[in-house]
Amino acid sequence: MSGGQGGHDASLYQTDAGRKIIVIAHVLIIAGSDCSGGAGIQADLKTVMALGGYGMSAITALTAQNTKGVRAVHTPPADFLRQQIEACLEDIGADAIKIGMIGSIENAEVIAEVLRANPDIPVVLDPVMVATSGAALGSDEVTQFIKQTLVPLASIITPNIPEAEALLGRGIKSVDAALTAAKDLRDLGAGAVLLKGGHGKGKIVTDILWDGQDSHIFENPRIETRSTHGTGCTLASAIAAGTAQGMGLQKTCERAISYVHQAIRTAPGLGEGHGPLNHGLEKFQPKAISGRVKKMQ
């Protein structure tokens, strides 16, 4: 399999017919489907498009869910997942790969093979284990495979606090503990870690980026809302879009966090449970909110 034609910020090239075509960054999303449109593949594709990229999908699982919870999960055969991935990479190619819900250990093994065969494509791994509603989205076997095999193949991982606790086997009760956790998670082999603070407490949401040398603390006011369905999927896909576009790591994470914050703030208020975000932000401006970034050692 091949990464295909690379692309960063939009530029122009000539086809054989002499027509000018805009080249945009390609993101392959390997994740589960959310029939209600708020999370998973659906949220991922909306996010990548909103941020100026071209999204493709390889579906690991089909879920019957809505804002109130997950009703059922169907996992297609792993060989079908492989065929989806190969179809995308062999033709259009990818400038970044985003991995979300994996579904089964067989799927996880296929994904690992793909990543090893394409080491030049940066990987954003969102270690999805539990839905916002609390439904389990993977087995303990998949969790261990993520920790031992997929994390070392990732350019950046984006766990929330419960996911980080599951990967490390300990609680994370403070910002200082989160910074230590981010460092320990990177020691598992990832290129960088963005530890999300949405599950923390207090009026400020603190997200921590650790790249192995410096930590960057992103602070934004907490929005009291039930419109939080798909926030993790959205953030990871926004990071994948920035990565594919060739943005620096800090700038990529800052834009992604700002996008999610604004998408929550302007959420449409749909459903009776955890509602979806406003992915269709028109002409998204990352300076639209007053977040604060601190650099720490």
- Say if CB 43 and CB 55 are below 8 A apart: no
Q: Tell me whether residue 14 is in a domain.
A: no
- Say if CB 31 and CB 39 are below 8 A apart: no
What local confidence, expressed as pLDDT, does residue 145 receive? 94
How many other C-beta atoms lie within 10 A of the C-beta of residue 113? 13
Q: Determine phi and psi for 76, rounding to 5 degrees.
A: -65, 165
What local confidence, expressed as pLDDT, does residue 18 receive? 60
Is 228 part of the annotated catalytic residue set?
Answer: yes
Beta bridge partners of 154: none
pLDDT tens-digit profile of 208-249?
Answer: 999 999 999 999 999 999 999 999 999 999 999 999 999 999
Is 69 part of the annotated catalytic residue set?
Answer: no
What local confidence, expressed as pLDDT, does residue 157 receive? 98
The domain in which residue 94 lies consists of 20-296
Q: Tell me whether residue 67 is in a domain.
A: yes
Which residue out of 231, 234, 243, 252 is catalytically annotated?
A: 231
- Distance of alpha carbon 116 from alpha carbon 218, whole angstroms: 32
- Say if CB 195 and CB 161 are below 8 A apart: yes
Which residue out of 158, 196, 206, 243 is catalytically annotated?
A: 196
Asked whether residue 201 carries a pLDDT value surpassing 90, the answer given is: no
3-state SS assignment for residue 267:
coil
Q: Tell me whether residue 9 is in a domain.
A: no
Q: Tell me whether residue 4 is in a domain.
A: no
Is 196 part of the annotated catalytic residue set?
Answer: yes
- Distance of alpha carbon 61 from alpha carbon 143, whole angstroms: 16
- How many domains, the chain? 1
Is 232 part of the annotated catalytic residue set?
Answer: yes
Is 230 part of the annotated catalytic residue set?
Answer: yes
Which residue out of 3, 103, 197, 230 is catalytically annotated?
A: 230
Q: Which residue has the higher pLDDT, 11 or 183?
A: 183
Asked whether residue 11 carries a pLDDT value surpassing 70, the answer given is: no
pLDDT tens-digit profile of 34-51?
Answer: 999 999 999 999 999 999
Q: Determine phi and psi for 239, rounding to 5 degrees.
A: -70, -40
Which residue out of 232, 243, 252, 275 is catalytically annotated?
A: 232
Asked whether residue 105 carries a pLDDT value surpassing 50, the answer given is: yes
Note the pTM of the prediction, 2 decimals: 0.88
Asked whether residue 13 carries a pLDDT value surpassing 50, the answer given is: no
Question: Where residue 128 falls among pLDDT bands split at 50, 70, 90?
Answer: confident
Q: Tell me whether residue 235 is in a domain.
A: yes
Which residue out of 60, 67, 132, 228 is catalytically annotated?
A: 228
Structure tokens given for 94: 């990818």
Asked whether residue 291 carries a pLDDT value surpassing 60, the answer given is: no
Instruction: Tell me what percent of the residues of the chain surpass a pLDDT of 70.
Output: 84
Q: Tell me whether residue 15 is in a domain.
A: no
Which residue out of 7, 40, 143, 233 is catalytically annotated?
A: 233
What local confidence, expressed as pLDDT, does residue 142 receive? 87
Q: Tell me whether residue 10 is in a domain.
A: no
What local confidence, expressed as pLDDT, does residue 5 receive? 42
Mean pLDDT, the chain, rounded, equals 88
Q: Tell me whether residue 126 is in a domain.
A: yes
What local confidence, expressed as pLDDT, does residue 267 receive? 95
CATH no. for residue 290?
3.40.1190.20
